[in-house]
Amino acid sequence: MKFTELTLKPEILMALEEMGYQDMTPIQEQAIPRVLEGRDVLGLAETGSGKTSACGVPLVNRVDPSLNNVQALIIVPTRELALQYVEEVGKVAQHAEVATFAIFGGFDMSIQRAKLKHKVHILVATPGRLIDFLWNTDIIDLRQVRTVVLDEADEMLKMGFIEDVDFIMSCLLQEHQTLLFSATMPAEIERLTKAYLKDPVRIQLNRDQRAPQSLQHHFQHAGGDRFEALVEYLEREEIGQAIIFCNSRDKGGNLYRELRRRFPSIEFIHGGLEQDRRISIFNRFREKQIRLMVATDVAGRGLDFSHVTHVINYDFPFNLEIYLHRTGRTGRMGRTGIALTLVTDHDLKNFSRLVQGNRIEPVWRGQAPDMHQASTRRARGGRQRQRERGRGGRGGKRGARRQAPAS
């Protein structure tokens, strides 16, 4: 289905054409007409499915630009996702005179307060900062809000924001439309759905297949030297842009320092950076000024980097969900992408769980490991370590007795 088949304002269709948007993704095709009708929507979809525009297009269309009120409220868990919404919705609204703004923690409230005094039609907010404004100022008036979006609801649950969401929703006394998007549906998100959505349209894509089909899942048995395997891959592979994931800030920092000696166009992003620095790196990466980005999982969820051709798991992901969201940074909205995961013998057991849990077809670069032999080696190694610990314990006591007289 094409965007031109929807009943949208001409200025929005003009913006979509300039953005190169013609055919809708599955979630856009199912969600946008329902949102335009005023229905509540519960959306469960794979990462990179296009749900930002699935919200943004109908929200801009429903706003009355002549009114100086917040008419749509989008609640997100992170500042990066808030900025992504402002950028995407701003493009959709560029000819529609619809003002979009984001508020989030870590930024001077006085600057945000000054902007909020001017016209804002679509407000994007993280829960904590929105509550700061509701408690401590009278700048934000939610009485004219017609649509509320709760995006990445399961991530807000993990980050401890659900009570904040309950408070915010309790401030909306008028009738309004609610859109809730989540990758998973734990019990607490099911409760939110029942509490705040009225007869919602349920959109669940790829129910039997969690991994996006535009992704190619490559694996490489790296043995004991992942760094050299990574360097060889980066030198030989045709990479437009790549995100290289590590499991911790320390590991990421060490890897970044080693890689920048060989690859000039590289940056490192992690949660400990100052906000301005993080935003600068994200913007430069989006504008293709940076080719390689080493990252912790701060960059692993919800962010749309449209030019990323490769995601590389330098460290094996802790669980299936982390793998899903990391690799979802490429192959977005039907584009082809490659996810490479470096696998050591220690990772092989988790590798089997990952492949089965995400229902993916692994492609091995180089020789695939012998899973049976690797399992046998791990078992032997475990028994050997147990024997060494046992001998060490007994030997230590004997040694202590022999040395006692000399002291």
Encode the chain (407 residues) as per-residue pLDDT tens digits.
899 999 999 999 999 999 888 888 888 999 999 999 999 999 987 656 678 889 999 999 999 999 999 999 999 998 888 988 999 999 999 999 999 999 999 888 999 999 998 889 999 999 999 999 999 888 999 999 999 999 989 889 988 999 999 999 999 999 999 999 988 888 999 999 999 999 999 998 754 444 455 678 999 998 778 999 999 999 999 999 999 999 999 999 999 999 999 998 999 998 788 878 888 888 899 889 999 999 998 765 556 677 899 999 999 998 877 887 788 788 765 567 899 999 988 888 888 888 877 677 788 988 877 765 555 555 555 555 555 556 554 444 444 433 433 33
Residue 148 to residue 177: CA distance in whole angstroms: 6
Helix, strand, coil shares of the chain, percent, nearest 5, are 45, 15, 40
pLDDT of the residue at 401 = 39
Terminal-residue alpha carbon distance, the chain: 86
Output the DSSP codes for 359-401: T---EEESSPP-HHHHHHHHHHHHHHHHHHHHHHHHHHHHHHH
Residues in the chain: 407
189 φ, ψ to 5°?
-75, -35
Name every residue whose Cβ is closer than 8 Å to that of residue 145 and which is 6 or more positions away in sequence.
70, 71, 72, 73, 172, 174, 176
CA angle 317, 321, 327 (to 5 degrees): 65
What are the contacts of 9-16 at 24+ separation with CB within 8 A?
9/61, 9/96, 11/95, 11/96, 12/57, 12/60, 12/61, 12/92, 12/93, 12/95, 12/96, 14/95, 15/91, 15/92, 15/93, 15/94, 15/95, 15/96, 16/57, 16/92
Q: Which candidate, 119, 13, 78, 129, places its Cα nearest to that of 301? A: 78
pLDDT of residue 227: 94
Give the C-alpha separation, 262 to 260, whole Å.
5
pLDDT of residue 201: 95
Domains of the chain: 3-204 (3.40.50.300), 215-370 (3.40.50.300)
pLDDT the model gives residue 77: 92
301, two tokens:
């969820």
Q: How confident is the model at residue 155, as a pLDDT? A: 86
Q: Do 322 and 183 form a contact (C-beta atoms < 8 A)?
A: no
Q: What is the DSSP letter of 6?
A: S
Return the closest-CA partner of residue 322 out of 49, 79, 47, 126: 47
